[in-house]
Structure 1
């Protein structure tokens, strides 16, 4: 309706108040329903992940909420209906996660497996081309030499039970040692392998391989020592929809291998196909140390670069207006299928796809609505993916860039006079100014992404490097050139195969530059810091607060200084919590001895009442990085960044090969070892001593009778060996350490065995409360005689095998704990001298008595 009135001799035409309000609301209302549905779905997934609600509970809750929504819709209660619908979506998220996580077919083979190896005969079919995993050439001197391997994707159909074949299901990868293997997708084979189920985390904060495998619904590990263990059955190949895609993957893999030098093959496959199996360990470590490892993870950056280049080229083709969008959509879907539809790529593909559809249909799209759709698609594809660091970092990074762009548009003002002056400048000045602006915006964007993702990076990886801010824009240029070179190489190979060798340098040069920049930075300008990272509750609060402030600043005009002040207060709370933890450690009145589960090896952490921390050994049989990661996770979980002393029991790699990695991440005051180890050290021990010298860490010797001065109420006494030692192997001269506090004793004997055992038991018996089993529970240590001498109440076995035989000691046998079954074992000696408190990480670990 129109109303006409005369006011001060002027004619005013006004809309009716009700019509005006409706028009104003229509103009301001923006439909972004997926922005609300995505968090609601996430809440349901998280609730089921942590509470593990029963299936019936989720079904009943979903039914009740849907009934409530229908009732609200019938009675026109919009607000109540909206709340009920969001809660129903959350219930659906919990239900979907529960089904994905817990519901398996009755014939699933992983349900009957254990973490212990067992020989097994299986039949099934190969689902993809085998991938070659070359033995690392730049391995650490502390690592064993490994053979070349193949990874064969495999789908199980039957398993042999005695002499009969029974139906079984499951998908996995077979790891086969060997140099040559000829298999194709769809081929039926019989496999003779060692089968296991992935083990869970045995130390707090450690990567849980069992959960990760369960999230991929692949809970079976198969290993073969020879290619002959895989025998074709002679049945015809089974073709599938994925065979053409797999053939293209294999074609690109072969062409990349032929076009680039051997040391760049892994980097080329990682950049374009996302396959990191063949990536050089030194290169991977350099990217991690410089904080640029996100460039190796196939993400939206790669797809964005390719999509932008493809769209600019498609615009020059004489075709209808909608053709570039359609062609780019087809190319995007093809690339997503080519790289196995990884979640970050799926997210980027949805963003690119909505832009393409908008171009084709002449419609604008809402970025945040599209981002919500991408998150929902990832959850529906695999609800456990939202707990993976790569998925989290990908979404946070793209959200940060989008918010930064919106804020820039909101606050940007254009001065007509300055614009006119800029247009009159000479072309070189224009280009220079444009380049300066682009570099400045790239650095600002890189800094913003680094700051917003830093809490997640610290929680998941415990490391960060400010080099990320400067290196990311530079490496982005080389990444763009590398992707262009790969696409150009593939195109030339298809059109004129003979010209492939001519264009190969166009690919090798940017890849080499990408590797060299990161490697040189890591070697000569190292700026990496390791930290325990913030608490999870603080990280969750940080991102909730950051999201609220981002909305208020971008949409409600909240002054930026208020947002920065709020974040500063939250940061102060985080630092305050760290200070409180440090103070609690300094005022501790108990001794804590933690036996870290490192497999077949030894690693014991000693925490003293005054906040000092000592380490007794750190090593394992096999990969030393596993020992480093296990101890690091325990230290970070306890908030420890400095070790006052490290004690090495003897010259065996499974007792010290994890220390080089620890020295990279934590500061160490002093190293102690026996005098015999410094005089007759082997090659690996000599290498370790040189590392100590290079880091200016003093090395001091200990012998029987020496005491370490740490705390007035704590006595650390060396019982063995003497300065001359005993005849025999290094094990016989293991450094035996006795820990006494308020009348309670813990004994750490290393790998003590005869004749060292006899030398120790000749001394006056010492009644101990807790004793670490010498030589990982081996019978060669004459354990019966040793235990009779020290009379322990608890015996801790630091081993990788759960099948350690407990020797017969007599009446009043001690309680046995094994790190292989119980995980990390913690011993607490309290200030009141009460019985030690012994606690394993896994509550269900058996308490075996002999």
Structure 2
């Protein structure tokens, strides 16, 4: 292992001689320009046309590269932005509304199992199914109207009996896909647009929302592929123990629904999810096995090459045509084609061809994690690790010593070398892919370096054995039995190793994503390290190490020295308020939602990372209702938390969720304290005064004992009320009325907690509104009516902002005043009397 031999040429020369490489690079530039600069389609088409004409006249390759950039940009633009006038999005609004839609299932329904029982999940979630509907008609007041486009369809239930190609009628809530509601959150609408999906259909209650009008899967080639994949899943389920059948379906068929989120997350956290998700590795292992069998069977090389190429292309289609599988299928097919034609092939050329074919199928795929990781891994593995770890030629003396060794000695030495190379490759790929994984998943998994090689070996054996099971089980169960057992044992070993790695201290850690500019610089440096040899590479390695250290430096928190920032996050029916005092501390008021702990992963953690937060100093839990604290364990997994402050009655709530949360706090050795009326806490020029509850009582449900915090900074005041209502609200409103600028509407804006009935469907200010008289009331709630709040708080001179409409609501307090911003609408206003 070490430097390549003297006869090996630098990798950049191979890329320089490959004619498709500059075309692929130009296409990548075109994609990036359209994605982030958004040029007009006419200009992109003009660029492509001008490049083609100029190339036809001058035959200079540079003009062809310009044409490739223009074509790629136009292809990406039309893929994401060109839709017919009768697209389903034209019938949808941001607020879900009942609709009746007809169309054809454009994907085989993905059938998800209910999540595991979890005390932190308020109510058990049902099994769900999702698919894409190619819309043909929408019912309007004037009857059925033709429509087009694609909608994401999700229903409660499994949609058994429906398949890709079937024509259906759907009765569901139609809406435009949601964009991000909080800074740092995933843009779901953009994600769907990458798949040319412009609307969402949500059917609740049962699968009766979907009725089949005509069976069509038998008339669709992809329908037959889906049926074959379903048959394979049933074969694996019958032949393999249920405990490992899900892993087998994920490994062999790319069935993402075969494992639940907890099982997938274990592989993600330990950095080895690539061994399960269908990737180029799977196709290479399968292709190597097929080639070996064909050679042993005496099949000639050229015929064997045809068989391997067709097998891998078919397998890539069967498992969903993911970019990584398409890349591997193209590159292996090029090798097979070279064997058939008896022509040499350039790996750099086939690498570039694979890139062009992937973006030809879907120009948005290069902006996905799987595609990026696949191409980076192959680039580093083939032109980097493959050269660096190649054995140097033996000297004549070393050859004599090697010949003198016994067979067991040779086998042991060879095995040791293979193991050393395997771990070295794992380390190289982890270093190369680590920043991308961090950018996409906010996780670093050093344990994956050690875990990777044995898992690759186990899953490779399981893949080959499982493939034999798929072929032989329909013929004779006894014939498949030994291969099924081998598959089970290998996958059980994978599960045992992953479980062990998960429990390894420091084996994995959540962290903020590096900035985009740093990622660009890092991968430019990686490319230089791979492509250069000798002194140039050594200089590049040193520069890469320096760049890496720069990326590891903690990001600077952007907060003026005299400013308090308060953010009301949109988490649905729940609450999480983030306070950032001027001294750099971070304090949370509540962390929970009825949507379950997963909301922390999707909303709160990305927001904190977006703000450059690496530690949460304190969490105040308003009371022991699940939707206010069930995100605490997920928060503790992702951030060090210095202190958790509870109400006097929190520990007395006899629920499994409270017990589970307290046990998790103890497991993480997070100290707790109890706050009650009269306590005052200080944080960097900010005071937090506890107005309620008292040390004992009042009696009743938890809402009456909700923690009320009065936050003061620079003459500005924010009142946080949790779910305060009933006797608790009466006690607070008997206190001397403070000056309140902004208040959190109690109990997510519920009528009983904020208003008083003044007649049939008529409301007037409730006690809390009349007592506080805020300038702005913030309602953290799920989507729903807020008219009663606007009437009640409007009567005392306040406006109302709700998080479903505004998204995250950010307050910035400083000596010159108080500014409020709405993330979704972009509205910015100064909070003052009569605003």
Give the TM-score normalised by the residue count of structure 2: 0.91
Going from structure 1 to structure 2, the CA distance change for 1:386 and 1:128 (only over 3 Å counts) comes to: closer
Question: Secondary structure of the equivalent of 1:122?
Answer: strand
Closer, same or farther: CA 392–180 of 1 in aligned 2, 3 Å: closer
The answer on 1:458 being equivalent to 2:438 is: yes
| Number of the residue aligned with 1:750 | 722
> Which residue is 2:619 aligned to?
646
1:698 to 636, 649, 671: 671
Q: Report what 1:607 is aligned to.
A: 580
Q: Which has the higher contact order (CA 8 A, sep 6+)?
A: 2
| Secondary structure of the structure 2 residue equivalent to 1:755 | helix
Task: Compute the displacement of 1:136 (Å).
Answer: 2.8
CA contact (8 A) 1:708 1:715 kept: yes
With 625-634 and 64-73 compared, the bigger mean Cα shift is at 64-73
Moved more, 441-450 or 690-699: 690-699
CA contact (8 A) 1:266 1:280 kept: no
Aligned equivalent of 1:570: 547
Report how far residue 411 of structure 1 moved. 8.2
1:714: how far off? 1.7
Q: Which residue of 2 aligns with 1:24?
A: none
Shift of 1:560: 4.2
Could you say which residue in structure 2 is the equivalent of 1:47?
A: 33
When residues 246 and 768 of structure 1 are mapped into structure 2, their CA distance, relative to the original with a 3 A threshold, is same
Aligned ranges 1:341-352 → 2 under 5 Å = 341-352=321-332
2:683 to 710, 717, 725: 710
The answer for the alignment partner of 2:772 in structure 1 is 790
Q: Quick check: 1:156 aligned with 2:140?
A: no
Alignment of 1:653-802 (within 5 A): 653-680=626-653, 682-711=655-684, 713-783=685-755, 784=765, 785-801=767-783
Distance 1:180 1:190, change over 3 A: closer
Aligned CA RMSD, in angstroms, stands at 2.6
Partner deviation per Cα, 1:316-344 (whole Å, 9 max, x = no partner): 23344311111111111111121121111
The size of the alignment, in residue pairs, is 807
- The 8 Å contact of residues 138 and 281 in structure 1, kept in 2 or not, is answered as no
Summarize the Cα distance change of 1:308–1:595 in structure 2 as closer, same or farther, 3 Å threshold.
Answer: same
Distance 1:389 1:748 in 2: 39
CA offset at residue 507 of structure 1?
A: 2.3
| TM-superposed deviation, 1:173 | 5.3
Unaligned runs of 5+ in 1: 1-26, 74-80
**Which residues in structure 2 correspond to 1:123-272 (within 5 Å)?**
123-127=102-106, 130-139=109-118, 141-151=120-130, 154-162=133-141, 164-172=143-151, 174-178=153-157, 181-224=160-203, 225-233=205-213, 239-272=219-252
- Which residues of structure 2 form unaligned runs of 5+? 1-12, 756-764
**1:475 to 2:481 alignment:** no
Match of 1:121 in 2: 100
Deviation at 1:596, TM superposition (A): 1.6
Q: Hey, what's the Cα distance between the residues in 2 that align with 1:302 and 1:845?
A: 50
Worse overlay, 834-843 or 652-661: 834-843
Q: What's the CA shift for 1:220?
A: 3.3
Q: Work out which of the residue numbers 513, 516, 521 in structure 1 matches 2:501.
A: 521
Deviation per residue, 1:334-361 (Å, 9 max, x gap) = 1112112111100111110111011111
Task: Find out whether 1:815 has 2:793 as its counterpart.
Answer: no
Contact 2:122–2:626 (CA under 8 A) maintained in structure 1? no
- d(CA) in 2 for partners of 1:438 and 1:278? 33
Q: For the residues of structure 2 that align with 1:575 and 1:183, how far apart are their CA atoms?
A: 49
- Secondary structure of 1:233's counterpart equals strand
Partner residue, 1:340: 320
Distance 1:523 1:343 in 2: 32
Greater displacement, 123-132 / 39-48: 123-132
C-alpha spacing 1:187/1:92, structure 2 compared with 1 (3 Å) = closer
Whether contact under 8 Å (1:263, 1:280) holds in the other structure is no
Residue 514 of structure 2: aligned partner: 534
Q: 1:416 to 1:408 in 2, by over 3 A?
A: farther
Name whichever of 775-784 and 230-239 sits farther off. Answer: 230-239
Q: CA deviation at 1:479?
A: 0.5
SS of alignment partner, residue 219 of structure 2: coil
> Please, which of 70, 86, 107 is the counterpart of residue 107 of structure 1?
86
TM superposition shift of 1:381: 1.1
CA 180–497 in structure 1, closer or farther in 2 if over 3 Å, else same: farther
**Post-superposition shift, 1:367?**
1.2
Q: Distance in 1 between matches of 2:806 and 2:667?
A: 38
Distance 1:185 1:591, change over 3 A: closer
Q: What's the CA shift string for 1:339-395, capped at 9, x where partnerless?
A: 121111001111101110111111221112211111111111111111111111111
Larger radius of gyration between Structure 1 and Structure 2: 1
**Closer/same/farther in 2, CA of residues 482 and 116 from structure 1, 3 Å limit:** farther
After superposing the two structures, state which structure 1 stretch, 509-518 or 720-729, moved more. 720-729
Q: Which moved more, 1:727-736 or 1:491-500?
A: 491-500
Change (3 A) 1:255 1:620: same
Whole-angstrom CA distance in 2 between matches of 1:183 and 1:665: 40
Structure 1 residues 248 and 180: alpha-carbon distance in aligned structure 2, compared to 1, 3 A threshold: closer
Q: Which residue of 2 aligns with 1:93?
A: 72
Q: Secondary structure at the match of 1:207?
A: coil
Q: What are the Cα deviations for residues 780-812 of structure 1, in whole angstroms up to 9, with x where unaligned?
A: 113423223222222222122153222334567
